[in-house]
Amino acid sequence: MNKDILSGVVLLAIAGIYYTWSTRIADSTLSDEIGADGLPKMLAILLGVLAVCLIGRTVLAMGLRAAAATATKAETEEEEDDNAPLPRALGFLAFGAAYVFLLPFVGYIVATALLIGTIAIYEGAPRRSWIVLAAAIGGGLFYWAIFVKLLGVNQPMGSIFQGLF
Amino acid sequence: MATFWDIFHLLTETPIFFVAIIGLTWGIMGGALPGISASITMALVLPFTYAMDPAQAIALLACVYIGAEYGGSIPAILIRTPGTNSSAATVIDGYEMNRQGRAGEALGISLMSGVVGSLFGLAMLILLTEPLSWLALAFTPASYFGLGILGLSVIASMSGGSLIKGLCAATVGLMISTVGTDPISGVTRFTFDVPDLIGGIEPVLVMVGLFALTELMSQSGSVGMARLNASIRIKLPSWQMMNKLKRSQFIGCILGLFEGLTPGGGGSIAAFMSYNEARRWSKTPQLFGKGSEEGVAAPETANNTVASTAMIPLLSFGIPSSNSTAVLLGGLLMHGLIPGPRLFEQSAQVIDSIYVGSFIAIIAQIGVGIVILPACIWLVNRPRHYRAGFIFALILSGIYTLNNSLFDLGIALGLGVVGFFMRLARFPVLPMILGVVLGHMVESSYRRSLVLSGGDLRVFLEDPIAVALLSLALIFIVFSLAREIRDARKAKLKEAHS
C-alpha cells in the first residue's frame, strides 16, 4: 500500500480512537460552555478530515498520473536508504526500553554502563574489547558524577544494592 | 541608571566579574544537557545564592539564565537534541550544517548570534524597561490567544512541501497538549488513571523523542558521522558572513524583544517565528532546512534576546514570563526584594549588578564558547559505536531528571518510534512540536476569554493586541499558502519540461 494512504488510514484510526476517548471525559460543574471535551472533539474531527484529504489526494494523484507513482516509488526507495532498516532501528530503541526496566533494580551506574556497553557492541564495536568495557564503566561513573554528584539529581541506586548503602 | 562610578565600583570592589563567569559557565553546562532546562539550571544554583549578597545573587541567576539559553544550541547542533525548548528551531539548519561537516561554523554562528541577541536584549532592558513595560500589563487572555495563533501560523511554512501532512502533524501535537488537567474545569483528560499524566506531557519529551531518538534510530548500524580527523576548530563568522546574517539577526532581535515582553511568549515562539521570517525575507530561502547559516542565526538571536528582554516585565511588575524568570523572581523574593518601580529606586545596586553582570557574561560567552566548543565537537566525532551509547545515556539521564520519572522515559521512547515512522512517511515533525508547545496556551486563553466575555466571540475583535496578532497570523498564513502554491506550480512546470 502507498505510504500516504497507509498514513491516512492510521491517522483516521487515531482520530476515531481519540474521539471515542474524548466522549469519556468527565463533566464538571466548574466547566465553561466549551467544556473539557470541546477542543479534543474538534481536533479529532479535524484530524479525521485531514486524513481523508490525504487519502483522497493520494488516490487522485495515483489515478491521474501513473508516472508520478513511479517517481514516488523511486523517491521512497531513495529515502529508505537514508534510514536504518526498521528492525534494526527498533532494536536500538529496545535497549532503551531494557534500560528503563533495569534502572530501578540495578541502579543508575550499572544500568548506564550496561546501556553504553551493549549499544557499542550493537553498533559494531568488537565484542571482547577492553575499550568497550572501559567506555561502559567510565561512562556510567562519568554520568553519575555529573547528574548525581554535581547536579544533585536523585537517580535510582538500585533495589538490589539497597542493603549495601 | 547606573553612573560610570557605580559601574567602576561594582567592577573593582565586588566579585561581579567572577560571579558572571561562574554563572555563565554553569548556565552553558546546564543548557547543554538535554532535559536540564534553563529554569532547572537556575533552580539548582538557587540554594547557593541564599548566603550571597543580594546584588551578586541576582546577577548570578541572570548570568545562569543567559548561559543556559545559549547552551541549549550546542546539543541542538551537534546531536540533534535541543538542550532547551527554545533551541528546537536551531536543530533544523544547525544539525544539517553539522552533517555537512560544518559543525564549527554552525557553532560559531550560533555563538555570535547569541551574543548579538543578548547585547540587543540587554540594551533594551537598560534603556526601555519603563516605556516598554506597559505591554506586559496590556495582555489579556484574548491577546494570549492571538499570540498562540500567531505562533501556530508558522506551521503553514514548516510543513516541508506538504501542507496536509504538516496540518496532520500539528493536530496530533495539539492532541498531545490536551493530555492532563483541563485548564478551566480541572478535570483530567486522557490520563487513564496514570498519575504521571496528570501534569500533561512535557514538550521537551516530545522534542527529544522526535528529534534525538529518531536520529539515533535512523543512524543505527551506519558508519554515521564519525570523522576522527575532522577539524574541531570553532569558526567564528567573518565580517562578510556577519553582514550576510544581519537581516536574520535583526529579525531575531525584533521578535525576541516582542516575545520577551509578552508574558508567556517565551523563547520557543520567538525562535520559530524568527526562523520563519528569516526564510521569508532571505535572498536564498531555498537553502533553509539544508544547512542555511541564516537558519541558525535567526532563532539563536531571538532566543538569546528573550533571555534579557524577559526580565523587563519581571523587574517592572514582578510578572514572570517563563519558568526561568519565575525562578529569578523566587531569587528576588528570597532576598527580600520586591519587583516593581520601587526596586529601581531602593535597590539600585541590584539592578546595576544585573546589567553589569549580564554584560560581562555576554562578552565572556565568546571566550567560554571558544574554550569548550572544540571539546564538544571532538566528542561527537568519536566512532559511532561508542558515541551512540553515550548520547543515548545522556538523553535518558536528562529525561529522568525532569520529574524523576521512569514513565517519562517510556513516553520519550514511544515518541522516538512515532518520529521514526513519521520520518519514513515523510511527515514534518516541527508542526507537531509547535502544536505541543502552543496547544495549552491557545486552548486556555481562548476559553478564558469566552468565560470573561460571557461567550461573546467579539472579545477577540475588541482587544487591539489580539486584533493585531490575529491579523499578522492571517497575513503569514496567506503568504505561506501563496508561496506553497507558487512552489507547487514551479515543480509541476519543471516536471512537465523534463
DSSP per-residue string spanning A51-96: HHHHHHHHHHHHHH-HHHHHHHHHHHHHHHHHSPPHHHHHHHHHHH
Contact indicator for A92, B217 with CB cutoff of 8 Å? yes
A58/A100 same-domain check? no
Q: Residue A21: its chain B contacts at CB < 8 A?
A: 190
Q: Residue A99: its chain B contacts at CB < 8 A?
A: 396, 409
A124/A147 same-domain check? yes
Print the SS3 string covering B104-149: HHHHHHHHHHHHHHHHHHHHHHHHHHHHHCHHHHHCCHHHHHHHHH
Question: Cα–Cα distance between B84 and B67 in angstroms, integer?
Answer: 11
Mean pLDDT within A96-102: 94
Contact indicator for B13, B299 with CB cutoff of 8 Å? no
Question: Within an 8 Å CB–CB cutoff, is residue A155 touching chain B?
Answer: yes
A21 CA: distance to closest CA in chain B (Å): 7
A77/A92 same-domain check? no
Splitting chain B (498 residues) into consecutive groups of 10 residues, what average pLDDT does each group show?
A: 68 82 89 76 79 88 90 87 83 90 90 94 85 72 86 76 88 94 90 90 86 84 56 84 93 89 74 89 88 93 89 79 80 82 79 90 90 82 80 88 89 93 90 87 90 88 90 84 76 71
A52/A110 same-domain check? no
Disruptive mutation site among B64, B402, B424 for chain A (greatest number of A CBs within 10 Å)? B424
Sequence-distant (≥ 6) Cβ neighbours of residue B131 within 8 angstroms: none
Q: Residue A69: its chain B contacts at CB < 8 A?
A: none
Residue of A nearest to B407 (CA): A100
> pLDDT-based confidence at A78, cuts 50/70/90?
very low
Contact indicator for A108, A157 with CB cutoff of 8 Å? yes
A128/A146 same-domain check? yes
Among partner residues A32, A82, A121, which is closest to B451 by beta-carbon distance? A32
pLDDT of A77 over the 50 cut: no
Which positions 87-126 of A are in contact with B (Cβ < 8 Å)? 88-93, 95-97, 99-100, 103-104, 108, 112, 115-125
Contact indicator for B459, B452 with CB cutoff of 8 Å? yes
B201 φ/ψ sector (left φ>0, alpha ψ -120 to 50, else beta) = beta
Name the phi and psi angles at B71, rounded to 5. -55, -30
Question: Within an 8 Å CB–CB cutoff, is residue B33 touching chain A?
Answer: yes
A76/A147 same-domain check? no
Average pLDDT over chain A, rounded to whole? 84
* Number of structural domains found in chain B: 1
Q: Which residue, B415, B418, B423, B441, is CA-closest to B144?
A: B441
| Whether B397 and A155 lie within 8 Å, measured CB to CB | yes
Angle in degrees, CA B203, B208, B211, rounded to 5? 115
pLDDT of A30 over the 90 cut: no
B200 grid coordinates: 500533561
A78/A90 same-domain check? no
Sequence-distant (≥ 6) Cβ neighbours of residue B40 within 8 angstroms: B30, B401, B402
Q: Which residue, A149, A92, A142, A156, is CA-closest to B406?
A: A156
pLDDT of residue A20: 95
Q: Residue B189: its chain A contacts at CB < 8 A?
A: 22, 25, 36-37, 40
| Whether B409 and A125 lie within 8 Å, measured CB to CB | no
Integer CA distances (angstroms), B427 to B72, B133, B169, B422, in order:
25, 41, 7, 5
pLDDT of residue B231: 66
Disruptive mutation site among B80, B163, B171 for chain A (greatest number of A CBs within 10 Å)? B171
Question: Cα–Cα distance between A19 and B191 in angstroms, integer?
Answer: 15
A78/A58 same-domain check? yes
Question: Within an 8 Å CB–CB cutoff, is residue B185 touching chain A?
Answer: yes
| Whether A143 and B401 lie within 8 Å, measured CB to CB | no
| Whether B171 and A115 lie within 8 Å, measured CB to CB | no
Question: Within an 8 Å CB–CB cutoff, is residue A73 touching chain B?
Answer: no
Which positions 131-170 of B are in contact with A (Cβ < 8 Å)? 164-165, 167-168
Q: What range does the domain containing B277 cover?
A: 4-497
DSSP strand pairing (B188-189 vs B180-181)? antiparallel
| Whether A32 and B443 lie within 8 Å, measured CB to CB | no
Residue of B nearest to A32 (CA): B451
Disruptive mutation site among A25, A43, A146 for chain B (greatest number of B CBs within 10 Å)? A43
The single-letter DSSP state of residue B161 is T
Question: Within an 8 Å CB–CB cutoff, is residue A64 touching chain B?
Answer: no
pLDDT of residue A1: 65
Sequence-distant (≥ 6) Cβ neighbours of residue B485 within 8 angstroms: none
Question: Cα–Cα distance between B261 and B429 in angstroms, integer?
Answer: 28
| Whether A83 and B423 lie within 8 Å, measured CB to CB | yes
Q: What range does the domain containing A69 cover?
A: 3-82
A62 CA: distance to closest CA in chain B (Å): 15
B39 grid coordinates: 529554569
3-class secondary-structure state, position B335: coil
pLDDT of A67 over the 60 cut: no
Sequence-distant (≥ 6) Cβ neighbours of residue A35 within 8 angstroms: A25, A27, B185
| Whether A40 and B189 lie within 8 Å, measured CB to CB | yes
Count other Cβ atoms within 10 Å, centred on residue B245.
23
Single-letter amino acid, residue B19: V
pLDDT of residue B417: 93
CA B402 to chain CA centroid, nearest Å: 17
| Whether B171 and A152 lie within 8 Å, measured CB to CB | no
Of the two residues A32 and A121, the one the predictor is more confident about is A121
B489 CA: distance to closest CA in chain A (Å): 15
Among partner residues B164, B174, B416, which is closest to A57 by beta-carbon distance? B164
A164 CA: distance to closest CA in chain B (Å): 22
Q: Which residues pair with B181 in a beta bridge?
A: B188
Angle in degrees, CA B473, B475, B479, rounded to 5? 120
Of the two residues A74 and B292, the one the predictor is more confident about is B292
Sequence-distant (≥ 6) Cβ neighbours of residue B37 within 8 angstroms: B31, B68, B84, B85, B204, B323, B324
A90/A154 same-domain check? yes
A69/A91 same-domain check? no
Angle in degrees, CA B292, A82, B285, rounded to 5? 20
Question: Cα–Cα distance between B166 and B177 in angstroms, integer?
Answer: 17
Question: Within an 8 Å CB–CB cutoff, is residue B386 touching chain A?
Answer: yes
B50 CA: distance to closest CA in chain A (Å): 17
The single-letter DSSP state of residue B196 is G
Single-letter amino acid, residue B418: V
pLDDT of residue A164: 60
Contact indicator for B54, B77 with CB cutoff of 8 Å? no
For A7-25, what is each residue's pLDDT tens digit?
999 999 999 999 999 999 9
Burial class (CB in 10 A: 0-12, 13-18, 19+), B379: middle
Among partner residues A11, A31, A91, which is closest to B185 by beta-carbon distance? A31
A52/A114 same-domain check? no
Burial class (CB in 10 A: 0-12, 13-18, 19+), B99: middle
Among partner residues A6, A33, A93, which is closest to B213 by beta-carbon distance? A93
Q: Which residue, B309, B324, B240, is CA-closest to B40?
A: B324
A11/A66 same-domain check? yes
Q: Which of A62, A82, A102 is the last residue of a domain?
A: A82
Dihedral (CA of B452, B453, B456, B457) sign: negative
